[in-house]
Amino acid sequence: MDPVLLGEALAVALFGAIIFILMLGYPVAFTLPGVAVLFALLGWSLGVFDLTYFNSLPLRYWGILTNDVLIAVPLFVVMGVLLERSKIAEDLLTTMGQLFGPVRGGLGISAIIVATLLAASTGIVGATVVTMGLISLPAMLAAGYDKRMASGLICASGTLGQIIPPSTVLVVLAVVLQSAYSQAQMAKGNFQPETLSVGDLFAGAFIPGLILSALYIAWVGGRAFFAPHTAPALPLSAQQKRALPRRVVSALAPPLLLIVAVLGSIIAGVATPTESASVGAIGALVLMLVRQLSDWYSREMSVERVEWFNFWFWLGLLALLLVVDLLGGALGLLTLAVLLLLVLTAWVLLLAGTRTVFVRSIGEASTSSLVITGMVFVIFFGASVFSVVFARLGGENLVHEFLNAMPGGADGALFVVMAIIFVLGFFLDPFEIIFIVVTLAAPVLLKMDVDPVWLAILIGINLQTSYLTPPFGFSLFYLRGVAPPSVTTGDIYRGIVPFVAIQVLCLALVWYFPALATWLPKLLYG
């Protein structure tokens, strides 16, 4: 048999074997290198693979370990875990529910708004879905909301953290596409290739993420208008109305400050995404400390006095930040944040009732960041083994020929890749799809002059559906674990159908109007 054809056949079998084994539930970090090595040995025994190709792996590993962009991953994870411990989500859900509750569909709209704010400040899907499932879902069911719509909107809005920056998926996509984009430009004769940064993807995802959130709100509002019984209003008492303004300020100020600190510093060009991630981690720690102090003093004084304290604290902090920004700029703000962190940490450690909670929160954040960072790096290492074996067996050329043969040129090839990603989303998680499909297809698509930012945002929106599509949609499992027995698994599965359709609609909008993804990065970075 022709060695070229035999190698390509082994490459196709390697791809199929990995997909099959991953569907059985084996970890991607070990499936990718393990199966690749087995096929490499098989190819070596058949004379179509040279084991000396593995000599390139140390250089690949060194490049991964020295990649500054990946430092943002543990920092964003720390930020998200600390925010979860600070109970900001609970305050937001309760307050925004009271603010929008008197409007038909208001509880659902408030849940989507809160999820959008959490997505822009934490980006952790599981924590968002579980928190909203514990707080918003019982409130909506008690108010008479349709079970399917309530569960569907919680699952869908909880996944906004995967497309709205800062998102670990976008960080990993940036790392994968950076290499592919450089290779594509050099293959076309450009030996001074343009760079693709995480900031480009964050800016590109900002508008599509907000559009997706707005489409969710429009759907809930439309259902409430045409079928009022599915999303009735929730009246407020006179006492709740009186306390609402100060609660809104106290609940909105922390996440908005963090969003401005993280995304604002990136968009303004003051900090790189990695630097802004460190600022976000410091800010999240400050917010957690303030919340712990507030909880401690709530045991010593009335709830109303604590609410007034929070109200004036956040107003005063906002005014102070504005003054420091005008006088000292970014360096002054960072200095103020560090000083505030030191003062609050000393204050918390002096109070016996808060030391244990503080130490436990830091430990949980450190453990979570260590586990997730280790997972990302191990997957990168395994993906390097897979890419070496697949490419040297001839799979890279096979993918190139396959996509180039699609009718419609670049559009036809891109449509096929998007369809494959969507189908695999039923069975695999986003990181598995990135390291298997995107790694193989992106270089070919970029050689066909597909805009890298536009491509990344299309992939990001498409990957988001993998959290909702059964049988392995993670958001469905998260909500099933905390939903009351009255909400069945069938209710959850049927409830996400219109939201998956909305995600596909958003994908189509970005496809037909690329400027939705490319306009802001070009405006900010040229």
How far are the Cα atoms of 67, 176, 182, 185, 195 from residue 191, in angstroms, in the given order? 21, 19, 9, 7, 12
Q: What is the pLDDT of residue 327?
A: 66
Contact in structure between 81 and 364 (CB atoms under 8 Å): yes
- Amino acid, res. 285: L
The pLDDT of residue 459: 93
Q: What is the mean pLDDT of residues 304-320?
A: 76
Highest-scoring range by mean pLDDT, 81-95, 247-261, 460-474: 460-474
pLDDT in tens, 137-166: 888 888 888 888 888 888 898 888 888 887
C-alpha span between 449 and 299 (Å, rounded): 62
Residue type, 39: F
Task: Convert the pLDDT of each residue in 351-393 to its tens digit.
Answer: 766 777 777 878 877 887 788 778 778 888 888 888 888 888 8
Q: Which two tokens stand for residue 409?
A: 């040129």
Confidence tier at 192 by pLDDT (50, 70, 90): low
pLDDT at 330 over 70: no
pLDDT tens across 230-249, in order? 888 777 766 667 767 777 77
**What whole-number distance in Å separates Cα of residue 272 and Cα of residue 262?**
10
pLDDT(267) > 80: no
Percent of the chain with pLDDT strictly greater than 90: 9
Q: What is the pLDDT of residues 490-516, one digit of tens each?
A: 888 888 899 999 999 999 999 999 999
Q: 291: closest CA among 384, 358, 343?
A: 358
Residue 80 has pLDDT above 80, yes or no: no
CA dist., res. 303 & res. 306, Å (int): 5
Give the 3-state secondary structure percentages of the chain, helix then strand then coil, rounded to 5. 80, 0, 20
Between CA 206 and CA 52 the distance in angstroms is: 44
pLDDT tier, 191 (very low <50, low <70, confident <90, very high otherwise): low
Q: Which of 76-90, 173-187, 335-349, 481-495 has the highest mean pLDDT?
A: 481-495
Burial class, 66, CB count within 10 angstroms (exposed 0-12 / middle 13-18 / buried 19+)? exposed
Average pLDDT across the chain, whole number: 81
Length of the chain: 526
Distances (CA, A) of 352 to 287, 302, 357: 19, 20, 10
How far is Cα 123 from Cα 273, in angstroms, rounded to an integer?
14
Residue 328 has pLDDT above 70, yes or no: no
Distance (Å, whole) CA 373 – CA 279: 18
Q: Where are the domains of the chain?
A: 88-235+462-526
Which of these, 349, 272, 387, lies nearest to 33 by C-alpha position?
387
- 123 pLDDT above the threshold of 70: no
Q: For residue 214, is pLDDT > 90?
A: yes
Start-to-end C-alpha separation, the chain: 52
Using 50, 70 and 90 to split pLDDT, how confident is the model at 102? confident
Three-state SS for 332-364 is HHHHHHHHHHHHHHHHHHHCHHHHHHHHHHHHH
Instruction: Please state which of the ranges 67-76, 180-189, 365-374 shows the lowest mean pLDDT.
Output: 180-189
Q: Residue 276: what pLDDT?
A: 79
State the average pLDDT over residues 200-206: 88
Query: Residues 314-319: what's their mean pLDDT?
Result: 78
Task: Give the pLDDT score at 81.
Answer: 76
The model's confidence at residue 208, banded by pLDDT at 50, 70 and 90, is very high
The per-residue pLDDT for 122 is 67
Residue 174 CA, chain-centre distance (Å), reads: 13
If one compares 84 and 40, the residue with the highest pLDDT of the two is: 40
Judge whether residue 203 has pLDDT over 80: yes
DSSP characters over 187-240: HTT-SSPPP--HHHHHHHHHHHHHHHHHHHHHHHHHHHHH-GGGS------HHH
Two structure tokens written together for 157: 């809005």
Reply yes or no on whether the pLDDT at 183 is more than 80. no
Residue 325 — pLDDT band, cuts 50, 70, 90? low
d(CA 156, CA 485): 20
